[in-house]
Amino acid sequence: MHSMTGFGRGTHATENVVVRVEASSVNRKQGEVIFYMPRDLAELEPRLRKHVLGRIARGRINVNVKLEHPSGSNGGVKVDLDKARALEAAFSKLSERLSCPLTPESTDYLRAPDVFLFEEDYQVDQIWQALEPALNEALEALVAMRADEGTDLKAELIRILAQLDEFANQIENHAPSVITAHRDNLFRRLRDAELELDLGDERVLKEIALFADRCDITEEITRLRSHFRKFDSYFGNAGPVGRSMDFLCQEINREFNTIGSKANDATLAQIVVTAKTDLEKIREQVQNIE
C-alpha cells in the first residue's frame, strides 16, 4: 500500500549533457503528470508520461528536468536580424506618428521574443540517453518514499479499523437491551395510566414484536463485519487500493447511519456518533492512498 505523497531526485551525465530530474507527487483521483523542462524537449513528453504512469497509477506527479552542459560544450547565441530590424522599424514609425524621437534600447531587443536564440549543441536522442536513467533514479526514490508513508498510513488505518470493530461489538451486545427497555417502558406506561390491560394481550405482544422488527440491526452488523474483512484484505494488496477503500468507507458510513436511525436508544446513538467520528479519520487518510 502506497501513499500518493513523495519526492525523488536523480542525476545522470553523458559526454554531451548532465540531466537532473526532480519528481514530486501529491494526491489526485487520477494519474496526472506535469512536466517542467526546456521547450526543445516537448517531443519527449508522450514518452516520459508513459514512462512515469508505468510506475505510478494515481496522483499528480510534477517532473522537473534541468540540463547542464559539460565544460566547453555550451551552445552559442543566434541573433534573428530580421526581427531586430523589424523592431527598429517599428520604433521609427512610432516616432513619426508621435513626432517624438524614439529609439530602441538593448533591453527592448532582449524583451522581444526570439530576437536572441540560445542554440544548444545536443540532439533529443542524446538527451534521452541521460534523461531516462535520471528519471528512473528519481522515480525509484519517489516510489520508495510513497511506500514508506504508505506503511505509516497502514498502521494508523489498522488501529482505527480495530476500534470500529470494537464499536460494532458494543452495538451488537447492547442491541437486545433496547427491546427489553421498550417492553418495560410500555408496561410502565400502561400501569401509570391505570389501564386494565392484560400484559399477555395480543395487542401488547404485537406492539413489542413490531418494535423489535424495526430495531433489528442484525443485517447491518453482518454487513459491517463483511466490510471490515474486505478492508483488511486490501492491506496486503500491492496494487492501488485507494478508490476501493474510499468506496468501502461510504458503505460503512451507510451501515452506521442505518443503525443510528433504527436504534431509538441514547446509548446506541452515542456509540454510532463516536464510530462515525473515527470513520471520518479513515476517510481523510484514504484520500492520500494510491
Range of the domain at 52: 6-73+121-146
Structural domain includes residue 1 = no
Max mean pLDDT among 61-75, 150-164, 204-218 falls in: 150-164
| Residue where a domain terminates, one of 129, 146, 163 | 146
CA–CA gap between residue 166 and residue 225 (Å, rounded):
11
Of residues 264 and 165, the one with the higher pLDDT is 165
136 in the same domain as 18 = yes
Check: CB of residue 175 under 8 Å from CB of residue 268: yes
Structural domain includes residue 256 = yes
Q: How confident is the model at residue 200 (pLDDT cuts 50, 70, 90)?
A: low
199 in the same domain as 99 = no
278 in the same domain as 160 = yes
Torsions phi, psi of 200, nearest 5?
Answer: -95, 5
Looking at the 3D structure of the chain, how many domains does it have?
3
Other C-beta atoms lying within 10 Å of the C-beta of residue 117: 14
Q: Which three cell numbers stand for residue 83?
A: 526581427
182 in the same domain as 91 = no
CATH number of residue 280's parent domain: 1.20.140
Structural domain includes residue 218 = yes
102 in the same domain as 52 = no
Mean pLDDT of 111-117: 71
Q: Using one digit for the tens of pLDDT, what is the confidence trace for 162-185?
A: 999 999 999 888 877 766 665 556
Closest CA to 27 of 63, 56, 50, 65: 56
Structural domain includes residue 279 = yes
Pairing of strands 31-36, 59-68: parallel
216 in the same domain as 103 = no
pTM, rounded to two decimals:
0.69
83 in the same domain as 129 = no
Q: Which three cell numbers stand for residue 108?
A: 527592448
CATH number of residue 43's parent domain: 3.30.230
81 in the same domain as 189 = no
Structural domain includes residue 48 = yes
112 in the same domain as 81 = yes
Lowest mean pLDDT among 44-53, 86-95, 121-130, 159-168: 121-130
104 in the same domain as 86 = yes
134 in the same domain as 202 = no
52 in the same domain as 24 = yes
Structural domain includes residue 83 = yes
Structural domain includes residue 166 = yes
Q: Which three cell numbers stand for residue 220?
A: 447491518
